[in-house]
Amino acid sequence: MKKALVNHPLGVYPDFRRLFAGRIISAVGDKFFAITIAWWVLSGAGEHGKFHLGMIMAMTFLPVVLFGPFFGALVDRSDKRLSMLWADAARLTLVFTLALLTWSDRLELWMLYGLCFMIAGFGPMFEASVASSLLRLTSEEHLGAATAADSSVMQLSNVFGSALGSIFLAVLGAAGAFFFNSLTYALSFIVVWLIVSDLRPRRGEQAPYFDELKAGLRYIAGNRPLLVLLLSFAALNFFVGPILILIPMIVKFVINGSVKWLAIFETFFAAGSALAAIVLSFRGGGCRRVYHWFFASLLAMGLPFLGLYFTTDRWLICGLLFVMGTALGAGNAVVLTLFQRTVPEEMKGRFFSVLTTVSYAVLPLTFMLNGLLAESRSVGFSLLMNSCALLALSSLVLFIPRLEYGETE
């Protein structure tokens, strides 16, 4: 065990360790932000709270769709460390503004829409910079483990953020949670500033910006197995993504619980994802028969998702969310490692920004759709529709064209 820890990318590469720490810190604050937003909207938006929660969540992903591909090409041409610093500085300023408005009791719903849109607008720049820096911060040998470790950031931060979110919300209120989120961006900025690896583009002569953007899109469109797997990710997000708004709705309208149960449910879901990603990071991040693994993870997500429709038992819900989170973490880590190993380094910024864009492009639509379904029909109806669709999707994955590397490693 000690040898595994020493040989882990977090133990071998100081700059990767710094980046990992910065991402954990800011992502914990983001979880506080998400919990606070969900509870503020459901508690203060009246009878249309479900609809507004869906719309607010859609607003947080819409910038990814609009700006993602442009940021990817920009990141490939830029110093990735500076790109991360600019993104952190912008989000720090915007979240601090939101905290001040909440503290002074001047925050209105339309302001929340606008600020959420702008805060999310800098996410694609940061994420594309991180994804295209992993090889530069580690090595080919450790790339799979580094990818799995990086994919665990959200899950680990969600565990801590979910567990502590209700405490911060109860003790400090919404304004305190937002102030904490702005502080985490400041700490992330400092940690990224301490990275000493050279993350500037290695090419001497660069093509015009839009030529590089088009080249990246042509590369993806011309690689059919890569394109189909990318679109499968988008379909996965369309059907599993609504869990982000359905968990608060289950707490508020199905079990009639307090924000404490929102934190508990979120923690169990995140803990499952974190456990899977951590285990895979020690296995090198990959496995043989990637597509069969992806099928199994989709099936293991769909079945507990369906189980949520049939129960109101709070601890059973915790167990179902844990299983669902574990399957999601495992599937994500394995397929992202496949992408890291098959996409050329000079294309990584553009590819991962397109991956993020395509995967997230469906989220505004599915959040709005499920917000409307939950309000016009019921929360249970949304659970039933998405879980059945996810189970159907799992069988289709067995028949899509394969990237060769995924079946041999």
State how far the Cα of 243 lies from the Cα of 228, in Å rounded to an integer.
24
Confidence of residue 116 (pLDDT cuts 50, 70, 90): confident
What pLDDT score does 74 carry? 72
State how far the Cα of 214 lies from the Cα of 220, in Å rounded to an integer.
10
399: amino acid identity, one letter: F
Q: For the chain, what's the residue count?
A: 409
- Tell me if the domain spanning 2-408 has CATH number 1.10.3720.10: no
Overall average pLDDT of the 256-267 stretch: 81
- Residue 376: count other Cβ atoms within 10 Å of its Cβ: 10
Q: What is the pLDDT of residues 286-323, one digit of tens each?
A: 556 778 888 888 999 999 999 999 999 999 999 999 99
What pLDDT score does 210 carry? 55
Confidence of residue 131 (pLDDT cuts 50, 70, 90): confident
State how far the Cα of 183 lies from the Cα of 120, in Å rounded to an integer.
17
Please say if the pLDDT value at position 51 is more than 80.
Answer: no
Higher pLDDT, 181 or 144: 181
Q: What is the pLDDT of residues 351-398, one digit of tens each?
A: 776 777 777 777 778 888 888 888 888 889 999 999 999 999 888 888
State how far the Cα of 224 lies from the Cα of 20, in Å rounded to an integer.
32
User: Model's pTM, two decimal places?
Assistant: 0.66
Q: What is the pLDDT of residues 321-359, one digit of tens each?
A: 999 989 988 887 777 777 777 777 667 666 776 777 777
Look up residue 334 and give its two tokens. 């394995």
State how far the Cα of 250 lies from the Cα of 261, in Å rounded to an integer.
10
**Contact criterion met (CB below 8 Å) for 159 and 106:** no
What pLDDT score does 299 carry? 92
Q: What is the pLDDT of residues 70-108, one digit of tens each?
A: 666 677 777 888 888 998 999 999 999 999 998 998 888
Instruction: Supply the mean pLDDT for the chain.
Output: 79
What pLDDT score does 406 carry? 42
Q: What is the pLDDT of residues 165-184, one digit of tens each?
A: 666 776 777 788 888 888 88
Q: How far apart are the first and last CA of the chain?
A: 24
User: Collapsing DSSP states into helix, strand and coil, what is residue 178?
Assistant: helix
**Contact criterion met (CB below 8 Å) for 29 and 183:** yes
Cβ burial 345-371 (10 Å sphere, 16+ → b, else e):
ebbbbbbbbbbbbbbbbbbbebbbbbb
What pLDDT score does 256 carry? 87
Q: What percent of the chain has pLDDT over 70?
A: 80
Q: What is the pLDDT of residues 215-227, one digit of tens each?
A: 667 777 778 888 8
What DSSP state is assigned to residue 12?
Answer: H
